[in-house]
Structure 1
Amino acid sequence: MFPHFSKRLRAFPKRALLINRNYTLLWLGGTISLIGDVLFTMMLILWVGTLLENQSTAPLAVSGVVLAAALPALLIGPFAGVFVDRWPKQRTMRIMDALRAVLVCSLLPISLPLPLPLAVKLTIMYLVVAAVSGLSQFFTPATKAILKEVVPEEQLTRASALTVGAGVFSWAIGSTCAGICYVSLGAGWAIALNAASFACSWVLVGRMRVSAAAERRASAHPTSLRRVLTELREGLRFIGGQLQLRTLLLTESLFAFGWGIVSVLAFFYITQNTHVPVSLFGLFSAVPAIGGILGTLLVDRAAGKFGATSVYARALLFAGVMVVVSTVPNQAIIDLVGFTLIGIATMQAEVLVGPLVLFATPEQMVGRVFSTLGTITTLSSLLATFLSGFVGSTLLQGVVVHLPTGELNAINLLHIGAGVLIFVAGLHASCQFRTLHERTQMNRKADHHPGTE
């Protein structure tokens, strides 16, 4: 009995690995860091809301946190991809982790009861959030690019599923703990925990054994504005010349716009249309995340059976239909089932984006492609946030459509529009990937019969 137990104990470290040692370290570092990020962001929102409690400017001040985090993705994101393609990926990730930890710690003094004007505190918060977000524009593409160096190609879908699943889990854990941490421990401890998460990521990423040759592959071109712009244009031209990347870029833009509408209106739809108590809003919001975790568990097998492009397109088609179908009845039970199915479908699609990009992109272009994709989807999501609020408050204000199943108000109509957009995204992906498959088949036939026309 004891020799058998000792044998199993020695084998446990290998069994505990996710794909391999390098990916396990990358996954752990990213998960810990993301939990810290979510905890930090939610804590900042609570902190700003508390500082401006019962003041009319509170919603604007809270939205400033979101805006400060989003702007660097639009202004820095595309250029960051150029440098990510030039720099060693592992070293880039560690430098960004170290700098983010220092920046987050700089908020500790204003968490103390010092006699600082409120405007000064808010300005420092916004600047730190923007700076941390700017550094993340280098860290995130480097994380995705290094997958090609640490994960075998046939395991990329599984690696992406594990990463996205960890993201969903991290969001649930971080947002749940944020309120408890802020109320029980205060803002200072939440800041310290986020800085510690970056330190953990720095240590774990440093333990990865990336080949020296991979780390030495850096551009020898001098760093000048003209050279950076030239390389940025080269990346955009490369995306424009690749049907698969063009398809993913437009599809993800449409999806981000549609899902942005659903996310912005979630509170009003759940509490007003389906008459769910505010106390249960968190439970309803967590349902898509539960579905998302299920989706990440199923996607690897589905992609192996039906093909990654097919599963990606079908998932978006199904998600678009379910957004429309679950919106019309205004029934809480139907929404719970619908949100679960939507979470499964959307997460399957999002898991497959990374592998599909990596399959179509050479190593020297990966940073630029992922940065461009991130910038475009962020812009689409921000536009959805602004336009859905504007249209719902002006053009559709007071509009009611009477159906046999009930009444549809502005929130219902915007939800239906979002579902149609997501369905169109899936339809576009399906048509374009079918065209790509046909071209690939024709090229293979031409290679087998080079003498024929």
Structure 2
Amino acid sequence: MDSSPLHAESPKKAWLINRNYAFLWSGQAISNLGDMVFDTTLVLWVSTKIAAHQSWAPLAISGVMLSAALPTLLIGPLAGVFTDRWDKRRTMLLMDFSRALFVLLLFVAALPLPLHISPSATLTMIYAMVALNATCSQFFAPARTTLIRDTVEAKDQARAGGLAQVSQNLAIIIGPPLAAPLLFVVGVEWALLINALSFVVSFFAILMVRSHKIVEPEGQKDHGQLSFWSELRAGLTFFGHSQILMTLLICITIVTLGTGMMNVLDVFFVTRNLHVDSSLYGLIGMGFGAGSILGAVISTFFTQRLEVVRTFWGCLVMAGLLIFAYSRMTSFIPALMIFTIVGIPIAALNTAFFPLLLHATPREMLGRVLSVINPTQTLAALVSTLLAGFLASQFSFHTSVLGSNFGTIDTIFSGGALMIILGGVYALVTLSHIRLDE
């Protein structure tokens, strides 16, 4: 596909690459922030209002998480076929419109109307809206990735990945602190309204993308000769035969398993290993977020100097080594400094992932490829959560090796770090021959 007209309009070395990407990034940045406010608000709403002082409150919160995960696992693997068929910009517009509508319906239900709605009915509505929003995301995300491929030249795709990491991590840092005041000061309905409006902003930003210059390949215009299952099978076969994609999948799964266990157990690590109050736990997450933003900003430097493949496997190894060092900490300040630095290679790793994915995947397969990666990553996150809880609760030990003390939680962290290091070595072996400029 000759999409050069799309890029000719962009100013030289513009910070947001070109006009089309600037609109895509800006809309997604606002949407990411709205999502983080929405997600945090739901957890607080359920735990402090709907299920306050109830023994089943943790189960109710788990229902929110499950409602978000199930569409990824059940619908995500199938959505790629449709996103590969459909017009990408129209798909994104439809999904943003639908998500805004779903959240507005929940907003109306949350208004202080003279109606009695039982907690079970409210939870049912929350679960339904979360599931519907997550379903829309299964179509929106692959379409957005393809549209970015269409609007960003190959030489700028690593930079586009880095900018996406910046917006995502800014939302992670800013969103949760905003959610609590919105809920407790002005009410849950206004936090929901903000999320709905974020989808409206995203909708109009996508509307500004000049998609009339994006020409669908001839082979994509008629899918009548292939059945849904034939296209799905073709996508899975392509994925299984791609060394790059299989390597990316294995490495991302390993990282998700390792970091997922840390997310579950880190609060216990802070109190038991670092010997500080749990109130300081939030600083660890903020430090990681700050490091991730820095890593996303400077990731272009890594990809230009080291090349994308070296950045990918090098950041895997570096992240693993830093996490291992973190697991050996017994003092809060050094641990906070190390975990802040961990965010740098993790962000650079995610940045390098993007151009590798686009290099290995034809445009007409991108939806189906992402429909393998995203559900697998979600499944790995769920497995890591269950595995961390099982290991930490069923195995309790303390030993000393060469003068170093090892307990249950830090040993789990060390095991995850070793997995990530081995993933980096595996990527070095399997991807060392890849050159993206070829």
**TM-score > 0.5, shorter chain as reference:** yes
Tell me the CA shift for residue 419 of structure 1: 0.8
Moved over 6 A (4+): 13-16
Instruction: Indicate which of 25, 30, 33 corresponds to 1:32.
Output: 30
Instruction: Determine if contact 2:273/2:329 at 8 Å carries over to the other structure.
Output: no
Instruction: Indicate which of 395, 399, 402 corresponds to 2:400.
Output: 402
Distance 1:176 1:15 in 2: 34
Distance 1:65 1:40 in 2: 12
Alignment pair present for 1:179 and 2:180: yes
Alignment pair present for 1:247 and 2:247: yes
Instruction: Determine if contact 2:150/2:214 at 8 Å carries over to the other structure.
Output: no
Tell me the CA shift for residue 405 of structure 1: 5.6
Distance 1:136 1:276 in 2: 39
Greater Cα radius of gyration, structure 1 or 2: 1
Distance 1:321 1:34 in 2: 30
Percent identical: 36
Match in the other structure for 1:221: 223
Instruction: Determine if contact 2:100/2:196 at 8 Å carries over to the other structure.
Output: yes
Q: Which amino acid aligns with 2:141?
A: T
Match in the other structure for 2:44: 46
TM-score (norm 2): 0.92
Distance 2:404 2:280 in 1: 23
Q: Deviations over 1:181-235 (max 9, x none)?
A: 1111111001111000000000010011123452686442239xx8222111111
Q: Deviations over 1:359-401 (max 9, x none)?
A: 111110111112211111111111001111012111x1x3112
Match in the other structure for 2:304: 304
- Secondary structure of the corresponding residue to residue 156 of structure 2: helix
Alignment pair present for 1:294 and 2:294: yes
Instruction: Determine if contact 1:88/1:214 at 8 Å carries over to the other structure.
Output: no
Q: Deviations over 1:42-96 (max 9, x none)?
A: 0000000012122221111111111110111111111111111111111110000
Tell me the CA shift for residue 422 of structure 1: 1.1
Q: Which amino acid aligns with 2:307?
A: G
Q: Which amino acid aligns with 2:290?
A: I
Q: Deviations over 1:85-111 (max 9, x none)?
A: 111111110000000000111112331
Match in the other structure for 2:57: 58
- Secondary structure of the corresponding residue to residue 17 of structure 2: coil
Instruction: Determine if contact 1:90/1:215 at 8 Å carries over to the other structure.
Output: no
Distance 1:349 1:377 in 2: 15
Distance 2:272 2:188 in 1: 32
399-408 or 66-75, which moves further after superposition?
399-408
Q: CA 1:211–1:250 in 2, change beyond 3 Å: closer, same or farther?
A: same
Distance 1:134 1:158 in 2: 28
Q: Deviations over 1:20-41 (max 9, x none)?
A: 1100000000000111111001
Tell me the CA shift for residue 435 of structure 1: 5.1
Q: Deviations over 1:240-289 (max 9, x none)?
A: 12111111111111111111111111222123321232332222211111
Distance 1:287 1:78 in 2: 34
Instruction: Determine if contact 2:40/2:176 at 8 Å carries over to the other structure.
Output: yes
- Secondary structure of the corresponding residue to residue 103 of structure 1: helix
Alignment pair present for 1:348 and 2:348: yes
Distance 2:210 2:403 in 1: 60
TM-score (norm 1): 0.89
Distance 1:76 1:124 in 2: 20
Match in the other structure for 2:424: 426
Unmatched 5+ residue regions in structure 2?
Answer: 1-10
Distance 1:185 1:215 in 2: 47
Unmatched 5+ residue regions in structure 1?
Answer: 1-12, 445-453
Instruction: Determine if contact 1:292/1:347 at 8 Å carries over to the other structure.
Output: yes
Instruction: Determine if contact 2:309/2:434 at 8 Å carries over to the other structure.
Output: no
Alignment pair present for 1:261 and 2:292: no
Aligned residue pairs total 424
Q: Which amino acid aligns with 2:292?
A: G
Match in the other structure for 2:94: 95
Alignment pair present for 1:68 and 2:67: yes
The root-mean-square deviation of aligned C-alpha atoms, in Å, is 2.1
Distance 1:23 1:63 in 2: 36
Distance 1:155 1:434 in 2: 21
Query: Which structure 2 residues correspond to residues 52-451 of structure 1 after superposition, within 5 A?
Result: 52-113=51-112, 114-214=115-215, 218-222=220-224, 227-394=227-394, 396=395, 398-403=396-401, 407-434=405-432, 436=434
Tell me the CA shift for residue 135 of structure 1: 0.4
Distance 1:14 1:186 in 2: 45
Distance 1:177 1:366 in 2: 35
Distance 1:357 1:34 in 2: 22
- Secondary structure of the corresponding residue to residue 215 of structure 2: helix
Tell me the CA shift for residue 138 of structure 1: 0.5
Distance 1:86 1:390 in 2: 42
Distance 1:216 1:15 in 2: 29
Tell me the CA shift for residue 169 of structure 1: 0.5
Distance 1:33 1:416 in 2: 35
- Secondary structure of the corresponding residue to residue 410 of structure 2: helix
- Secondary structure of the corresponding residue to residue 214 of structure 1: coil
Match in the other structure for 1:19: 17
